[in-house]
Amino acid sequence: MKDWKNVVVTSEVSIRQAIEKISASGLQIALVVDGNNRLLGTVTDGDIRTGILKGIEIESSVQTIMHNRPTVAKPGDERELILNTMKARHIHHMPIVDADGRLVGLETLDELLKPAPRDNIVVLMAGGLGTRLRPLTNDCPKPLLYIGNRPILETILLNFIDYGFSRFYLSVNYKAQMVVDHFGDGSRWGIDIQYLHEKQRMGTAGALGLLPERPVHPLIVMNADLITKVNFGSLLDYHAKHNAQATMCVREYDFQVPYGVVQLDSHRLLGIEEKPVKRFFVNAGIYTLNPDVLDVVPKDTFFDMPQLFDQLIKEKKEIAVFPIREYWLDIGHLNDYERAASEYNGEFNVQE
């Protein structure tokens, strides 16, 4: 975060000196104060350009071009209030002043829009054979198949990055080197990527036994063949709010019976429901687990997530379900892949 104190100037400085401050700081604003650090006004690049067009000399006092009634916030104002005010007024900076009008800080739109950094580990299961997508996966692992302008797994990573996550483990097996070659150590995206190499098929949870460290915070585990816009920050908050040991993301699934369903009482017909729609919640392949849940995962053994959750249920652990309302698609079959390709640009705001 850039230091706002570097852009504080007094009313005696010249426009030229203010320009130097603005250019050096990268904050695109100067904050003008009096001798008691009371905020007098602000100067932006736009104010300077307007002043120049009016013929004001660059050696003139900064007061001649400053905006003397800037929108300000108070210490303790909530982030959402400040952010909404900035958006409504189309401003990128908001000085923070105390009850006496003294400058105590500066909020910028760029900083407010940045996601809060999260220390939670994300494990992405990317070792499957992708047999149902053959022949597409004959020479390419499913996570590297392109949807839109990038591989499936890259879209997943970017979505997590947007929510502040930076520590990833990729579980790999089938054509593992292709995955490693593409993603490397993650430095291309400013993140850390490490790999869990499955020497044998280990199921959707078995690779968790390969983690070289004991996580400190709840971790997110996700299948690497999903395209989704789930808010992962909300998922973690939901997990914490419900004091859950494990949380399973679920998706509503509708199934229409293609026939009239009869209602019986022994041999008697009570009624007929024509082609009813049945609704279920199904496992969406995304999970949040507390670190101690990893004790349930056996070492070097095939182990699926349903087995893990069955065991937690037997142990009467607190388990929550997180209903997904956002876009979600499991790319399990060729028709799913084709659907994802057709929907990707619109769902992820990609310009063709």
Residue 39's pLDDT is: 93
Centroid of chain to Cα 345: 18
Helix axes 176-183, 152-162, angle to 10 degrees: 40
Give the span between the Cα atoms of 113 and 44, in whole angstroms. Answer: 20
Question: What pLDDT score does 120 carry?
Answer: 93
What are the structural domains, with CATH classification, of the chain?
4-113 (3.10.580.10), 118-347 (3.90.550.10)
Q: What's the predicted TM-score (pTM) here?
A: 0.68
Please confirm whether the linkage preceding 135 is cis (ω < 30° from 0): yes
- Of 236, 171, 173, 227, residue with least CA distance to 199: 173
pLDDT the model gives residue 216:
92
16: left (phi over 0), alpha (psi -120 to 50) or beta: alpha
Q: Indicate the SS3 state at residue 56.
A: coil
CB 211 within 8 A of CB 196: yes
**Residue 203 φ/ψ region, left for φ over 0, alpha for ψ in the -120 to 50 degree band, beta for the rest:** left
Identity of residue 87 = K
- Per-residue confidence (pLDDT) for residue 217, from 0 to 100: 94
- By DSSP bridging, strand 39-44 and strand 29-33 are antiparallel
DSSP letter, residue 210: G
* Residues 6 or more apart whose Cβ sits within 8 Å of residue 319: 244, 245, 246, 247, 248, 309, 312, 313
pLDDT by residue, tens only, the chain of 352 residues? 567 888 899 988 999 888 888 878 778 889 999 989 999 999 987 788 788 778 888 888 989 988 889 999 998 888 788 888 888 888 888 899 999 999 998 888 877 777 778 899 999 988 777 677 777 777 777 888 888 788 889 989 998 998 889 999 999 888 888 888 889 999 999 899 999 988 888 888 888 988 988 899 999 999 888 888 888 888 898 898 889 999 999 888 888 888 888 888 888 888 898 888 888 888 899 999 999 999 999 888 888 899 999 999 999 999 998 888 778 877 867 777 777 777 776 666 544 4
Q: Measure the CA–CA gap between 256 and 36, rounded to whole angstroms.
A: 72
- Give CA–CA dist 179/351, Å, rounded: 26
Looking at residue 152, its pLDDT comes to: 86
Separation of alpha carbons 324 and 170, rounded Å: 23
Residue 174 has a pLDDT of 81
CA distance 230 to 227: 9
